[in-house]
């Protein structure tokens, strides 16, 4: 890729739709908090982050996928690997107060602004662990939102929160989670999202919770066709959960009829070239290329940028350098992300005008055709 396109990517105003708060925490912040709390860890926090590498499950499940999934280790895998979920659990143990929650939210926005020129960021937040339960749902949300408001003031950004639903929980627990969100409405909490490993909880388990969210006017998304090599979960998420967009979705490529449907309907997929499973990164990138080639509406995301590590600008750069996305395709992704965000109409319109105006100015600056 030319240096000119690199420079253009850096200046593009971006919207981040798929980013997990815990996964944004800086290694330095984790180290600071872990040492403050005297956490017993198997290695230094900085080493744990350096060696983060989630190991793949049974390779037999992925033996016959259309895009081959690597069966062996990649060259950059560490001798001792720390999984994304284990590392996230340690980070959560180190969070002890509302101030800690405000800090990590503010830092997530600061990093997105400085590294990627992100103009709007939507962050997934998890259910409170037992040691933070005294804050209560509303207390935690206010702590998160304080971080967003500080970032909005300092960086001119906008931000919203998405309540994550752990798909390893029961239908009743998920419904209680959504009811808590609905019964305590907040203008900064705009949607729900189903996360965790896809093969531990089928989407049909959560129909009632998603129906409640939809009736309350919340946006709905779900991690789908990411770990289970089938397009069926994505159809369930669209038809039974009423999802507005899909997180990941790579295995929709297993079914040509589903590919045709989601292309024709313009279903938005938030896709990440970088994953904690280092051996799977080439497969991810090949899958995203196939999605783009099939005309699917993809939007790049950073997912867990503090831990992988990556940034939204880096994801755009990988799409250009390794996936082969053109400048026009990247520009369309930046515009599509605005259209798919969950800001209120007036703010969304203002953001759209800002992004479109900047993109047009960048076309003129870099000599790209509009």
Mind listing the pLDDT tens digit for each residue in 297-317? Answer: 999 999 999 999 999 999 999
Decide: 246 and 267 in contact? Cβ < 8 Å: yes
The residue-averaged pLDDT of 126-150 equals 98
The pLDDT of residue 50 is: 97
Q: Convert the pLDDT of each residue in 90-119 to its tens digit.
A: 999 999 999 999 999 999 999 999 999 999
Is residue 242 within 8 A of residue 272, CB to CB? The reply is no
Alpha-carbon torsion (123, 129, 131, 135), positive or negative:
positive
Instruction: Give the pLDDT confidence score for residue 71 in this predicted structure.
Output: 86
Question: Using one digit for the tens of pLDDT, what is the confidence trace for 22-72?
Answer: 999 999 999 999 999 999 999 999 999 999 999 887 888 899 999 999 988
Q: What whole-number distance in Å separates Cα of residue 267 and Cα of residue 323? A: 20
Q: Is the pLDDT of residue 2 over 60?
A: no
Q: Is the pTM here over 0.75, yes or no?
A: yes
* pLDDT tens string 189-242: 999 999 999 999 999 999 999 999 999 999 999 999 999 999 999 999 999 999
pLDDT(78) > 90: yes
CB 29 within 8 A of CB 311: no
pLDDT at 370: 72
pLDDT for residue 3: 67
Q: How far from 154 is each of 103, 110, 139, 143, CA to CA, in Å?
A: 14, 9, 23, 17
What length is written for the chain?
Answer: 370
**DSSP assignment, residue 279?**
G
- What's the whole-number average pLDDT of the chain? 97
pLDDT attached to residue 55: 87
Instruction: Answer yes or no: is pLDDT of 156 > 60.
Output: yes
- Res. 1 pLDDT band, cuts 50 70 90: very low
Q: 2-10 long-range contacts, Cβ below 8 Å, gap at least 24? A: 4/366, 5/320, 5/327, 6/317, 7/366, 8/327, 8/362, 8/366, 8/368, 9/313, 9/316, 9/317, 9/320, 9/330, 10/117, 10/313
């Amino acid at each position: 890729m030319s240096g000119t396109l690199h420079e253009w990517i850096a200046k593009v105003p971006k919207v981040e739709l798929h980013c997990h708060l815990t996964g944004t925490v800086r290694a330095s912040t984790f180290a600071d908090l872990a040492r403050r709390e005297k956490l017993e860890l198997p290695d230094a926090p900085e080493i744990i982050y350096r060696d983060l590498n989630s190991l793949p499950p049974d390779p037999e499940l992925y033996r016959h996928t259309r895009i081959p999934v690597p069966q062996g280790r990649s060259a950059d895998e560490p001798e001792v690997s720390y999984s994304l979920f284990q590392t996230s659990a340690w980070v959560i143990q180190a969070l002890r107060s509302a101030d800690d929650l405000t800090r990590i939210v503010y830092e997530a926005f600061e990093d997105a602004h400085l590294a990627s020129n992100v103009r709007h960021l939507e962050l997934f937040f998890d259910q409170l662990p037992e040691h933070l339960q005294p804050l209560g749902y509303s207390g935690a949300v206010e702590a998160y939102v304080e971080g967003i408001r500080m970032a909005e003031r300092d960086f001119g950004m906008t931000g919203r929160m998405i309540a994550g639903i752990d798909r390893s929980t029961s239908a009743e627990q998920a419904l209680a989670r959504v009811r808590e969100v609905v019964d305590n409405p907040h203008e900064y909490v705009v949607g729900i999202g189903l996360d965790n490993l896809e093969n531990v909880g089928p989407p049909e388990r959560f129909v009632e919770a998603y129906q409640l969210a939809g009736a309350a006017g919340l946006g709905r998304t779900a991690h789908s066709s990411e770990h289970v090599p089938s397009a069926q979960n994505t159809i369930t998420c669209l038809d039974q959960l009423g999802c507005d967009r899909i997180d990941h979705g790579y295995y929709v490529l297993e079914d040509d009829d589903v590919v045709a449907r989601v292309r024709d309907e313009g279903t938005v997929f938030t896709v990440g070239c970088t994953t904690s499973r280092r051996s799977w990164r080439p497969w991810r990138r090949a899958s995203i290329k196939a999605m783009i080639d099939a005309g699917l509406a993809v939007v790049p995301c950073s997912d867990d940028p503090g831990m992988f590590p990556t940034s939204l600008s880096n994801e755009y750069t990988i799409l250009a350098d390794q996936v082969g996305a053109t400048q026009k395709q990247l520009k369309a992704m930046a515009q599509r992300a605005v259209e798919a965000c969950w800001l209120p109409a007036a703010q969304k319109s203002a953001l759209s005008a800002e992004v479109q105006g900047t993109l047009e100015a960048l076309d003129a600056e870099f000599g790209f055709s509009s």
